[in-house]
Amino acid sequence: MKSYIFQSIRLTLVLLVLLCVIYPVSVAFVAKFSKGAGKGEQSFFNRKVVGYKAVGQSFSDPRYFWGRPSAVSYNAAGSAGSNKGPSNPDYLKEVKSRVDTLLKYHPYAERKDIPADLVTASGSGLDPNISVEAADLQVRRVAELRGFSLSQIQELVIENTEAPFLGFLGPRKVNVLQLNIALDQISTYHEN
């Protein structure tokens, strides 16, 4: 029995070195050669960091495309979903008010044009994406507020739509931050 105790302690110490020093440090070293150097990939606008490509951020200005509702208000210091159950009456009221807000800003749209992802909070609270339908809904609003034609903005959405992985695996989606950066880029060009 006594020998088991000493063997356990010694084995634990040796494994701590192997599993908690050698393994993670070598991965961290190799990861330096990845995009973002293992620190997360950043997005730039006018050579300034404006966020992380993978991490969603809050857009509330009607001149931008909006992302999904977030249970943590896109505060990426933490992360969480709403954890609201499907039958929770308070939650359903909240969804209804989101639908009403969207209808107010998109008077041309009907309820059936609103995709579920635009009125429900994501699992992480940091979802960087919206569905293609969610972007389509907002095209006319953004075009009108920025003085573009519908087709110009529609084209921008198509350019920023990510195809399924390898073309046939998983959903199509739009990265809201990338789309808005592209939007600001053509706007600056437009104004000059």
Partner 1 sequence: MNTEINGIIATYLLTVIIAFPLGKYLAKVFAGEKVWTDFLCPLESIIYKLSGINPKQQMNWKQHMKALLTINSVWLIYGFFVLIYQDKLPLNPDGNPGMTPDLSFNTIISFVVNCNLQHYSGETGVSYLTQHFVLMFLQFTSAATGIASAVVLFKAFREKSTTQLGNFWELFLKSITRLLLPLSLIVALILAFNGTPASYESKDQFVSMEGDTVDVSRGPAAQFVAIKHLGTNGGGFFGANSSHPLENPNYLTNMVEAISQMIIPMAMIIAFGYFIRKKKLAYTIYAVMTLGMFMLLVPSIIGETAGNPAIAALGVDQNHGAMEGKEVRFGAVATAYWSTITTIVSTGSVNGMHDSTMPLTGLWQLLGMMINSFFGGCGVGILNYFIYLIIAVFISGLMVGRTPEFLGHKVEAREVKIAALVTLLSPFLIMAGTALASFVLVSYPNADWAVKPANWLNNPGFHGFSEMLYEVTSANANNGSGFEGLGDNNIFWNVVTGVILFLGRFLPIIGPVAIAGLLGQKKYIPESAGTLKVDTITFSIMTLAVILVLNALSYFPALALGPIAEYFTLIK
**Is 189 one of the binding residues for partner 1 (CB under 8 A)?**
no
Provide the b/e sequence for 91-104 (b: ≥16 CB within 10 Å).
Answer: beebbeebeeebee
Token digits for 52? 């992380």
* Separation of first and last alpha carbons in the chain: 81
Q: Which residue has the tokens 């519908």?
A: 150
Near partner 1 in 85-104, by CB under 8 A: 85-89, 91-92, 95-96, 99
Q: Which of 42, 154, 161, 187 binds partner 1 (CB under 8 A)?
A: 42
CB of 108 or CB of 151, closer to partner 1: 108
Q: Which residue has the tokens 């509702």?
A: 69
CB of 5 or CB of 192, closer to partner 1: 5
Report DSSP state, residue 119. Answer: T
Question: Which amino acid type is present at position 13?
Answer: L
Provide the b/e sequence for 33-44 (b: ≥16 CB within 10 Å).
Answer: eeeeeeeeeebe
CB of 146 or CB of 151, closer to partner 1: 146
Q: At CA 133, angle to CA 97 and CA 77, rounded to 5?
A: 65
Q: Which of 105, 116, 147, 159 binds partner 1 (CB under 8 A)?
A: 116
Least distance (Å) between residue 103 CB and partner 1: 10
CB of 93 or CB of 190, closer to partner 1: 93
Tell which residue, 116, 82, 80, 85, has the closest CA to residue 98. 116
Contact map string, positions 44 to 83, toward partner 1, x by CB under 8 A: -x--xxxxxxxxxxxxxx--x---x-----xxxxxxxxxx
Q: Which of 101, 105, 123, 151 binds partner 1 (CB under 8 A)?
A: 123
Least distance (Å) between residue 192 CB and partner 1: 19
CB of 84 or CB of 154, closer to partner 1: 84
117: helix, strand or coil: helix
Near partner 1 in 160-179, by CB under 8 A: 164-165, 168-173, 177
**Is 156 one of the binding residues for partner 1 (CB under 8 A)?**
no
